[in-house]
Amino acid sequence: MAKPPHWAFPEALQPSAGDTQFNLARALDAMVLVRTVIPEDGFTADTLGTERGGYGVVIAEDGLVLTIGYLITEATQIWLTSNRGTVAEGFPLAYDQSTGFGLIQPLGKLGAPHLQRGLSADVKVGDSVFALGHGGRAHALKTRIVAKQEFAGFWEYLLDEAIFTAPAHPQWGGAALLDAQGDLIGIGSLLVEQKVGDESLQTNMFVPTDLLGPIFNAMLKTGRSQHPPRPWLGLYAQEHENGVLVGTLVPDGPAEDAGVRVGDLVISVGATRVQSLAQFFRAVWQLGPAGVDVPLKIARAGDIANVTVKSGDRSDYLKKPSLQ
């Protein structure tokens, strides 16, 4: 994998010890660089690539790393690099599809400190926060919370309340969001355009770490949340004024197998009318766990069709980690 290019935030955007109420050097040293390799025949290889890079943050004394899950999904190789230059192989210990969190267990000593988790529910819009990446102060950013609101992703993903910050960190995947006390309150997931008042801003979307607490022990023990897997349809959709428009279908996925077509407009799930991605996902998930039948009413070329999709468990399509 290529060495990441040298870059730095302007000095005025970098936090300094005088800007913080916590040990900034220690927080920076809790960050690791994450590099992963995914097999070419992996389910996510075409969409997410076979070589992925981002960040992670050490959250426990044994070196356990919290990151964003898409970096480690189907990974056969993981390499972690500390700010002090220590390199260790990692094992993809857990991935929770509902939140997007991933956990990596280092297979060697990183010698990095760990960060405490704070309460993301306590931060408010307008609060000053810090977005940290691997690479020391040059890759740390003074930023602020511009929104806390629902987020729906076309890949069948939904957060009731995500954290949005600006200015945005250009290498957001797995970046750590710290509150004024230096506690971890979010993990970087996306770069998105966000409307704030009359202004359109480039923002980072962070997954709140409050979501980790209820599922943390189960992830450590089983590699996933204790909650039953949600029904997965295998379609990428977008909002339309009259429903939810099917843009792409996963080949041989549940929706394609049931006869759903690209360009279909989903009007309702059962008796529930849907006009947004969030409404669509919630209506599907309320039917039961993965494997449940999902009845869809679809508009297609001027006609109305009823299609029943036998939902699946997305994890069944993913390559599983191995220590061998």
Q: Are 145 and 163 in contact (CB under 8 A)?
A: yes
**104 is written with which tokens?**
């990596």
Long-range contacts of 261-266 (CB under 8 A, 24+ apart): 261/300, 263/300, 264/298, 264/299, 264/300, 264/305, 265/240, 265/298, 265/299, 265/300, 266/237, 266/296, 266/297, 266/298
The residue from 227, 251, 278 where one domain ends is: 227
324 within domain boundaries:
no
Ramachandran bin of 48, using left for φ above 0, alpha for ψ from -120 to 50, beta for the remaining angles? alpha
| pLDDT confidence of residue 323 | 58
Contacts of 299 (CB under 8 A, 6+ apart): 242, 243, 264, 265, 267, 305
pLDDT higher than threshold 90 for residue 195: no
Domain at 151, CATH number: 2.40.10.120
- Name the percent of the chain lying above pLDDT 90: 92
Strand partners of residue 324: none
323 within domain boundaries:
no
Domain at 282, CATH number: 2.30.42.10
pLDDT higher than threshold 80 for residue 213: yes
**How far apart are alpha carbons 29 and 277 in whole angstroms?**
39
185 within domain boundaries:
yes
CA torsion sign for 222, 224, 225, 230 is: negative
pTM: 0.95
Same domain, 4 and 48: yes
| pLDDT confidence of residue 280 | 98
Same domain, 102 and 176: yes
Chain-wide mean pLDDT for the chain?
Answer: 95
Same domain, 172 and 71: yes
| pLDDT confidence of residue 143 | 98
Q: Are 214 and 201 in contact (CB under 8 A)?
A: no
| pLDDT confidence of residue 196 | 79
The residue from 227, 255, 280 where one domain ends is: 227
Question: How big is the CA angle at 286 (ends 318 and 293), to the nearest 5 degrees?
Answer: 65
For residue 47, what are the domain limits?
Answer: 1-227
67 within domain boundaries:
yes
**How far apart are alpha carbons 106 and 294 in whole angstroms?**
40
3-state secondary structure 298-321: EEECCEEEEEEEECECHHHHCCCC
322 within domain boundaries:
no
- Of the pLDDT bands very low, low, confident and very high (cuts 50, 70, 90), residue 321 is confident
The residue from 227, 256, 271 where one domain ends is: 227
**Euclidean distance between the first and final Cα of the chain, in Å?**
22
Same domain, 85 and 151: yes
**17 is written with which tokens?**
């010890």
Taking only the tens place, the pLDDT of each residue in 107-116 is: 999 999 999 9
| pLDDT confidence of residue 194 | 86
Question: How big is the CA angle at 10 (ends 3 and 17), to the nearest 5 degrees?
Answer: 100
CA 174 to chain centre: 8
Same domain, 7 and 103: yes
- Of the pLDDT bands very low, low, confident and very high (cuts 50, 70, 90), residue 177 is very high
Asked, as a colleague might, if the bond just before 92 is cis with ω within 30 of 0, I would say no
| pLDDT confidence of residue 1 | 42
pLDDT higher than threshold 70 for residue 3: no
Average pLDDT, integer, range 78-95: 97
Count how many residues are written for the chain. 324
User: Domains in the chain: how many in total?
Assistant: 2
Average pLDDT, integer, range 235-248: 94
16 within domain boundaries:
yes
pLDDT higher than threshold 80 for residue 125: yes
Same domain, 172 and 277: no
7 within domain boundaries:
yes
- Of the pLDDT bands very low, low, confident and very high (cuts 50, 70, 90), residue 318 is very high
Same domain, 2 and 150: yes
pLDDT higher than threshold 80 for residue 4: no
Same domain, 222 and 287: no
311 within domain boundaries:
yes
Taking only the tens place, the pLDDT of each residue in 128-175 is: 999 999 999 999 999 999 999 999 999 999 999 999 999 999 999 999
| pLDDT confidence of residue 2 | 42
Same domain, 139 and 66: yes
Helix then strand then coil, % of the chain, to nearest 5? 20, 40, 40
Contacts of 315 (CB under 8 A, 6+ apart): 97, 224, 229
Average pLDDT, integer, range 226-237: 96
| pLDDT confidence of residue 152 | 97
117 secondary structure, DSSP code: B
| pLDDT confidence of residue 19 | 85
Taking only the tens place, the pLDDT of each residue in 142-152 is: 999 999 999 99
Same domain, 184 and 82: yes
Same domain, 141 and 269: no
| pLDDT confidence of residue 324 | 55
- Of the pLDDT bands very low, low, confident and very high (cuts 50, 70, 90), residue 193 is very high
Same domain, 63 and 100: yes
**How far apart are alpha carbons 153 and 256 in whole angstroms?**
20
Strand partners of residue 115: none
Q: Are 142 and 19 in contact (CB under 8 A)?
A: yes
Long-range contacts of 233-236 (CB under 8 A, 24+ apart): 233/156, 233/260, 233/284, 233/294, 233/309, 233/311, 233/312, 234/312, 234/314, 235/156, 235/260, 236/154, 236/155
